[in-house]
Amino acid sequence: MPKVKTNSSAKKRFKVTGTGKITFQKSFKRHILTKKSKKRKRNLNKRGVVSAPNTDFVKRLLRLK
C-alpha cells in the first residue's frame, strides 16, 4: 500500500499553530508597496487564520484529517 502524500502547495502555504489553528501569509505584500499605506502594509504582515468553513478542506490537503 503506497503512502498518502501531502499536497505540496498546501504544505508551503499553511502552518499549524500550537493550538491547532491553521495560519497563512496574507497576499498583496510582494511589490508595488509605495502606493499602499503603512497601516495596510502593517496589517498584511500579520498571519491570517483559515476560516471555519475552510478548515476541513485545508486539513485534508495537509493530511491532518
* More confidently predicted of 3 and 58: 58
> Which pLDDT band holds residue 65 (cuts at 50, 70, 90)?
confident
Measured CA to CA, the distance from residue 65 to residue 24 in angstroms comes to 18
Confidence of residue 23 (pLDDT cuts 50, 70, 90): very high
Residue 45: pLDDT band (50, 70, 90) is very high
H or E segment and range at residue 57? helix 52-61
- Given a cut of 90, whether residue 9 has pLDDT beyond it is yes
Q: Which domains does the chain have, with CATH numbers?
A: 8-61 (4.10.410.60)
Query: For residue 37, how many other CB atoms are within 10 A of its CB?
Result: 8
User: Residue written as cell 478542506?
Assistant: 57
DSSP H/E element including 22: strand 22-25
